[in-house]
Structure 1
Amino acid sequence: MTPQCSRPAGEGACTQERDISLSSIKKHLRRRYNLFWRSQVRLLLVCGEPEHIAAIAPGLAEKQWFEGHRTVLIYGGSLSSAPDTGRLAALRKLRRSRPLDGIVLALDERQTTAGTLDNHLRTLEQVGEALRWQPPVYLWQVTDSDWSQDARVTQTVGALFPARATPTGVERQLRAILPSLRERGMQQLCAGPSHDFLLRFGRQLEKQGISHWKTLLTPWLTEHLKRVPLRGLMFGRRWPLRIVPRAMNTAGPLRRSGRA
């Protein structure tokens, strides 16, 4: 998960750029929230392939971090490569007691395979070791539509898991959001004939999506949950820049929370 360094002078320049970026976060938060900012904001590391991060947080790769609605999004890069231990060490200094409140892993449907998820789990464990803290993970599947949905009210769909989530519990939580998907989907379809995303997504989730995710997450929930906490599964279309990072701070009305 090594973000590309824009400086050509080698590792020293990358380290300097990394320190400047994280130093700017601290200065901004101290100015905005005073000296006690550490207890007032959430720090989220957004990881994934560049195109998937750009889909849910456009501009994050270039800016390296965003802040808004008491949430800071920090660019984490891909999990396909080894973690940038230097960057993670710098993150640990930003807030030593709890370096991050969570890791958002953006992925698309093609990446929802057992092999890919297992590789990501290994990298996430390495991230936790480097931070000396294992942040909870929130999966965010980027979905899309064959036709424009720009005028439609955009919402994130998904479930927030309890600390001791189980495959059966995940299935139950995902099924619980289906009525809301149908109701809100019909409302949006009546507002515009092309605004059928929620209805189509709800049918797909009911037909095969829930069983797919239950099977896919079973090894994580039964074998790796203590080492890498999984606290949520979200589905959403590409976000317009104007609502980032608010999207990361709430799942909107179409979510189902399990008991912690």
Structure 2
Amino acid sequence: DAIAPGLRDQLWLEGQDTVLLWGGSVRGDGALLTQWKGLSHWRGLDGVVWALSKPQSVDATLMSAGVRCLQDLARGLHWQLPLHLWQVCDSEWPQPKRAAQPVGCLLPAHFTLEQLGTSLAALQQPLRQQGLAQMQDEMRHDFLLRLSRDLQSEGIARWRQVLAPLLGAFARGVPLRGVWFSLPQLRTLSERKHHWPLDAAWQGVLDDAPAHRRLGWSAPRIGYALAVGLVALWGAGLLLSFVTNRVQIAQVQTSLAALQQPEQGDPQLMALNELMRELARLDYRAVNGVPWYQRFGLNQNPELLKTLWPRYVEANNRLIRDPAAANLHQQLSALLALPPGSAERANRARGAYDLLKAYLMMARPEKADAA
């Protein structure tokens, strides 16, 4: 209640587009903290304000236990919990009419002890000047001047000593965003329940707007990672399919280019043999399916088989069938040119049946004997 009067009794307060939730004591069982978990499924809490007195701030055991408690809460919520330490200072006399203002400093991410000391030291001169100005109006309003003196004498060194063991802990789910100071705030009467009359001392905390960062692997993050993984896998598959199909087409184009050369010989026969092997591979894939690395939407096997078959037939006829048919025709013509009844014609006539059968099979392949 020292910085938000009524919060402990009512558990939550609302005002100026801000909701304060009571989290209980860091020495408690955490039941009050866990009851707010349902509010942070899709958005993390903007921050946690830990109010403590000067004696509490120098209690190393309390500070360490409190930070561990907040780390457990952050892991349970799956969100980082930006932390603000708020020291509630003492005064020997009340100062209810003193003008309230934010007193403290925001800290950079992953701050060092030197940066902490520099930020607190930068408060001394402004606090001294503003404190003197307030005391000119009312001598009892000495809070700012005393705070400046305390920081200079032992406050900065004390905070450096207190936070030094916790620097590593702040990086694990509970980043320290700021250190603030104030006198205990007075309770104000309000006709509306759960109403929070905004105090100017809170403005420094409210002005801080750190980015909400997830901790661990939540369901949305797992879904996002799976979606990205599937997209990456499909992209890699598309690339692999494109490359393998491109290599296959390039090999076929090389064979076709060799078959289109004007001179005949072994290179064209080797190209025809390679083309025949490629057709056999394509025909096998048409029946049994293509390899897995070509099943990503870029399979060109059916189109390639349809395109290559007529060209293979034309090249086979030109390089194998037509020369073989011409050779058979020449041998049969030479047999018919021999004189009837000659011994040579009789000797050649024994193999004429096989020559004639082969010639007719090439002329009428649909009538060919498979045996």
Scaled by the length of structure 1, the TM-score of the pair is: 0.71
The one-character-per-residue Cα deviations of 1:39-73 (angstroms, maximum 9, x if unpaired) are: xxxxxxxxxxxxxxx11111111221111122110
- Equivalent residue letter for 2:41: R
- Equivalent residue letter for 1:210: I
Residue pair 2:27, 2:66 contacting (<8 A) in 1 also: yes
User: Given the superposition, is the C-alpha separation of residues 248 and 154 from structure 1 closer, same or farther in structure 2, using an over 3 Å criterion?
Assistant: closer
What does residue 251 of structure 1 align with?
Answer: 204
What does residue 193 of structure 1 align with?
Answer: 139
What does residue 222 of structure 2 align with?
Answer: none
Q: Name structure 2 gaps, 5 residues minimum.
A: 189-195, 212-371
The one-character-per-residue Cα deviations of 1:152-189 (angstroms, maximum 9, x if unpaired) are: 11233111111121111010000011111011001101
Cα offset for 1:81? 2.1
Which of residues 93, 109, 112 in structure 2 aligns to 1:163? 109
Residue pair 2:93, 2:140 contacting (<8 A) in 1 also: yes
What does residue 122 of structure 1 align with?
Answer: 68
User: Given the superposition, is the C-alpha separation of residues 197 and 248 from structure 1 closer, same or farther in structure 2, using an over 3 Å criterion?
Assistant: closer
Q: Distance in 2 between matches of 1:133 and 1:222?
A: 18
Q: Distance in 2 between matches of 1:61 and 1:135?
A: 20
What does residue 175 of structure 2 align with?
Answer: 229
Give the structure with higher Rg (CA).
2
Sequence identity percentage: 38
Q: Does 2:11 correspond to 1:64?
A: yes
Residue pair 1:149, 1:195 contacting (<8 A) in 2 also: yes
Residue pair 2:11, 2:22 contacting (<8 A) in 1 also: yes
Cα offset for 1:248? 6.6
Paired positions, count: 201
Cα offset for 1:245? 3.8
Which of residues 82, 105, 121 in structure 2 aligns to 1:136? 82
What does residue 174 of structure 1 align with?
Answer: 120
Cα offset for 1:229? 0.8
Q: Does 2:54 correspond to 1:101?
A: no
Q: Does 2:28 correspond to 1:81?
A: yes
Which segment drifts farther, 171-180 or 129-138?
129-138
Q: Specify which structure has the higher proportion of strand.
A: 1
The one-character-per-residue Cα deviations of 1:184-220 (angstroms, maximum 9, x if unpaired) are: 0011010011111111111011110001001111122
Cα offset for 1:249? 4.2
Q: How does 1:144-155 map to 2 (within 5 A)?
A: 144-155=90-101
Q: Specify which structure has the higher proportion of helix.
A: 2
Cα offset for 1:93? 2.4
User: Given the superposition, is the C-alpha separation of residues 224 and 154 from structure 1 closer, same or farther in structure 2, using an over 3 Å criterion?
Assistant: closer
Q: Name structure 1 gaps, 5 residues minimum.
A: 1-53
Residue pair 1:138, 1:233 contacting (<8 A) in 2 also: yes
- Equivalent residue letter for 1:73: L
Which segment drifts farther, 180-189 or 153-162?
153-162
Q: Distance in 2 between matches of 1:126 and 1:203?
A: 37
- Equivalent residue letter for 1:251: G
Q: Distance in 1 between matches of 2:30 and 2:130?
A: 40
Residue pair 2:75, 2:173 contacting (<8 A) in 1 also: no
- Equivalent residue letter for 2:67: L
Q: Over aligned residue pairs, what C-alpha RMSD do you find?
A: 2.4
Q: How does 1:29-68 map to 2 (within 5 A)?
A: 54-68=1-15
The SS at the match of 1:120 is helix
Residue pair 1:106, 1:142 contacting (<8 A) in 2 also: yes
- TM superposition outliers: structure 1 runs of 4+ over 3 Å: 241-249
State the structure with bigger RCO (CA 8 A, min sep 6), 1 or 2.
1
Scaled by the length of structure 2, the TM-score of the pair is: 0.50
What does residue 50 of structure 1 align with?
Answer: none
What does residue 24 of structure 1 align with?
Answer: none
- Equivalent residue letter for 2:182: G
